[in-house]
Every structure is written in C-alpha cells, then in structure tokens.
Structure 1
Amino acid sequence: MMSQSHFAPPGPLGFGGAPLGNMFDEVSEEAAEAALVAAWDTGVRHFDTAPHYGSGLSEHRFGNVLRRYPREEFVLSTKVGRIMHPDPRAPENPPFVKGLPFRGEYDYTYDGTMRSVEDSYQRLGLAQIDIVYIHDLAADHHGSAWEELFEVAMNGAAKAFIRLRDEGVIKGWGMGVNLTEPCERALEMSDPDVFLLAGRYSLLNQPALDRLFPMCAERGVHVVVGGPYNSGLLAGGRNFEYREAPAEMVRKRDRLAEVCARHGVDLRSAALRFCAAHPVVAAIIPGAKHADKVRENARLMAAQIPHGLWEELKREELIPADVPTPSDEPLSDRPAGVAQPNRH
C-alpha cells in the first residue's frame, strides 16, 4: 500500500527559472543575477530550474547566486528527462535562445535519471537538490508516444527517485508537466510527493480542479503551480499556453479584468491569490527576467483583495461556484524552512 506524502515546499511565492534560460529573449548575466537576488530579498525561498532551460544556462545562473546563501534556508528543485550532451554547434533549443553548447536528448531510464541528477549537481555547484521532477512527459511534448515513455519513466526515473528519497538524498519527487493526465497516472502507479503543474490551475481555467486535486488531497500530495498568468494572458499579454491566445480566452480575460477593476483589484493579484487559495497548492512560481518584475510579483501577491470580488466572479460564472477562494486578509508568508518528509 502506498504511503501518504507529507512533503511540502515552502510558500507561497517561488521563483520559476525558465526565463533565466533565455526563454524567448536573451537575459544578461547581470540581469539574471539581479532577479535572483531580488527574489531572495523579497522573501522567496523556493527556486525551480531545469537542464532544459537554456541547455543548462538556468541551472548555472541559479547556482552562481544561490551558493551565497545558507543552503538550509531554501528549497531547490530541478528536473530530469533530458541528458545534455556537449555539442560545439550549440543547436537551437526553442523556446530558448543563445543557450549553452549542449544538445538535449530525452532519457527517462533509471541510469539516465541518475546521470541527469549528477549533471545538475555539477551545473548548480551545489551538493543538495530537494525536489526533482520528471520533465515534460506528456502528450504535448511526445504525442501518443508519451504513454510508452511513461512506462519507461515509472520503471526508471520513479524508481531512482524513490531510492534517492529513501536514502535522504532528495526530499521529494513528482512530475513537472503542462497536462494533468501524467500526474493522475503517477498517483495511480507510484508514490510521488509533489507536482509542478503549469497552466492547468489558474483564474482562467481549472482542468486540475475536478479530478487531480481531489486525488492529491487524498494522498497528501502537494502541487506547485507554474504559469499562473497563463503564458502572460492574465498579465496583459496576448499569449495563452505558449501561443497566441484564442479569442474566447481573450474575452474571458477581459471580463475578469472588468470585474477586478470594479473592486479596485489588479488582475494579476487576483490571478496569484486565486492559485494560492486551494489547499493542495503549496506554492506559485511565476517566472521573471528582471528584478523589478520580481519585486512586482511580491507586491501583487501581498495585496489585499475584498471577498466581494470572488463572490462576483462566481455569480458571473467566471470561476466555479465551489472553488476555494482567498480570505479577505493579505496572504501571510509561510515558514521558509524546508519541510521534512514523514512517510509513516
């Protein structure tokens, strides 16, 4: 019988590392460092990165800054699923630009997972990784082949993680994906602790609400929400799920913004606070390329939001009638220490 997970990352606001891998646009070393320092200075203690982000660039940048802080005071997560092979041609790795000279190759096997974790230690220059996610193992990246690869991962990466967790090398593991199905299947087949789910629980849409979140609640598994702005649409942009937003989503965004304006609330604040209100959500990790955006996210997360906003959004059927919503008070910081797993 599978045991309940009790590992919870610190929250509520974390830092997502994809932008610092030069996602879409190049970020200077100075700007990347300033963004990470600003995150620390605003109280962020949860940092997420991946080998895929800039072909190792994001991990390098995280390590260069995080090494200056006490290691026991923050949680660090990275991912497996791609081995980075040196390649002097520095092949393109969209949506990242001007990454490091490495070529990613999918590998969800046991040995590939152990190598990937070891490679991440070297890129980060740190001797402790707290959470490791199986990255992008879903239909959006692999089409119909994802199910076969998922079997490989459950017999490879998952078993490697369970061993590393049981030995105390890592504190938790899970899936880092953009779709709910792999998370649901991982709960059915193995013993994960936490999921990083991007774009599937937001003010705009909540595919995770009806099935995945109840499964997580039953097992004591936590969710870290990535993409709380839905690729920028909730922050005033035009993209949704990494491409131009469909007209119906733009219209819904505009209606959400109108209701927020009537209550004197920034739509971005509502988006962040909404995600944090669900009991299974341990943290939200919006990405940011510059220090001013990091500080702005902290301000938006701390904003006070009147309960009447949520009531009106439900009346207008812009969010589900039974969805958890925040209290009237500003969100207080959760403890920054690393929660320890208790699997008894």
Structure 2
Amino acid sequence: MPAKLMVLVTGGAGYIGSHAVLALRDAGYGVAVIDNLVTGFRWAVPADVPFFAGDIADQALVERILRDHGIGAIMHFAGSVVVPESVENPLKYYHNNSAKTRDLIESAVRAGVPHFIFSSTAATYGTPDVRAVREDTPQRPINPYGMSKLMSEYMLRDVAAAHPMNFCALRYFNVAGADPDGRTGQSTDGATHLIKVAVEAALGKRDGVAVFGSDFDTPDGTGVRDYIHVSDLVAAHVLALEALIAEPGRSHMLNCGYGRGFSVLEVLDAVDRITNRPIRRTMAPRRAGDPPALISDNRAILETLPWRPRHADLDTIVRHALAWEAQLDERRAQGMRAQP
C-alpha cells in the first residue's frame, strides 16, 4: 500500500485544527502544522508533528514548508471566527479570513499543491428563507464573518478552474464537544461558543450564561442552531481529502451538520440535566449578525462521502465538552511545563 500524502494543517494548534491533526494521524497521513498561536496552543500539537510558529500570509515561510515537507494537501483552519466581533471590526475579518487565505492559495499554486480543504461556514447563508439549508440555498451573509468566508469560497472556485487544484469547502454549522479520548478540546480563553460557555458556567468558571435574544421567531424565542461534534466534523475532512485524491478533477462544497436544531434554552437544559447543577441564565439583547435559526440539510455530504456521524447526540456533545473542561487547567499547566 503506497504511503499516504503529507498534509499541512493551518491553525493546527487551535480547536478544530488540533482535532484534524489527530484525525489525520489516526488515518495514517503525515502532518505538519503552521499556527501563529494568537488563539492556538503549542501544547495542543503532538510533539512529533513538525510545527511552525508563523502566519499563513508569510508566503516565503509557507512555500518553504510546502516544498521541504512535500505537502500534497492543505487543510485550512486559520482565521477569525467570532460573528459579533466581525460586525465591530470587519477589516480584521477581511484581512485574516479573506486576504490571508488569498495569500495561502497563491502559495499552494506556486508549490503545486493539488488538494485544498477549506473551513467554511453556514454563516455564508445569512438568514435563509428555508428551514434547512442546502448547498444551493442562496448565500446572502448578514455579517462580515460570513462574507469573508464566502469570498474565500469564490477564490477557491476560480483558482481551481485555472490551475491543477481541486478543493472541498466544508460549511460548518455549530461545532462543539471535544475529542472522546480527551486528547484535545476547545481551550481558548473567553470563548463565545454556547456549549463551551455553558460548561464553564456549570463548573463554576463563569457566573452564568447570557442568552442573547429571546424574541426570535423560533419555538421558545431563542436562537436555534445545528450542533455538530468536532470529531464528526474532522472525520468529514479526512473523507473529503480522500474524495479529492480519488477524483482530482472534481471539487465539492458540502454542509457539515446533523440536520437537527436545538435552541439556546434546550442546550442549557441539557447541561443542567447532565450536571444536575442549574446554570444561572440572564436574558440579554440580540447580538448583531445573529440569524434566528440555522439548520443544515446534510443529504449532500451523506451522498458524496462515506460519512456517518458517530456522536450525533446533544448529550454526548455536552458530556465530552464537560470532560475536557474539567481537565483543561491541568492540561494547560502540563503544556506550559513542557515548553522549551
């Protein structure tokens, strides 16, 4: 059996990127990581993985990595992801998510990298007119975060038409949970993802949870989202890579979700139920750029890839997030002690 190719993971010290590193290694791929460590952690990357502290816009560095390590594919996770911040500081998002992705794609073309997997988002759909969005649902972002990712999708589409590269843009819904084996998880201070915030509150790391918006046109008035376990998400990335390798002339744009939504209050109820420790809830105004509901129609990914989610259960997602959060302080301390 021929050796599997080498993959460069951008943002590989971050939440989703660190899970992708593990999934690729578990599947037998070689991995290298580049991360500027603004939101990532060096200790989240296994010690034997080639690691480069740097920025994807540093084209000299990126192209040296691509050539020196014989990179055959890029999984691109580096970027900024907080929707309200994108409304307050749009230029940051167009710089980090669009301009730097453009530089990365150019480096890939120069180095002859044939496969590119992009971390896109359901935020490209904006406020859809349908209950469950399909890949052909009109993309009308309502915040700079979604627009910055959509611009990157357009760049990849155009570059793939002009150069020998194929790509897969995976449009994430709400990613949550942690590695079931406790190897990595969401570690960023001040995270805004609901399940992360809720488990911090359940463990006494926060005073409570603010519910942003209770007057949406949803069954209980709070925002509804399609939550996907991070391990299922990165499994889709590995399968997407294999699809690109198998059909070099074909690219894909695929939703990554379970096709079911939960409201903010339903998520908090799940955390309360699992911990038997009710979280204090504070009702707050809506945040800028938040749609009422965003749920995937995931038929395309199920038909295109042999992807079958293993953790499609809200309670499982919460339990894994709680387990990671409970050990996070010690993991951080161990990681700091291990630094040179």
TM-score, structure 2 normalization: 0.34
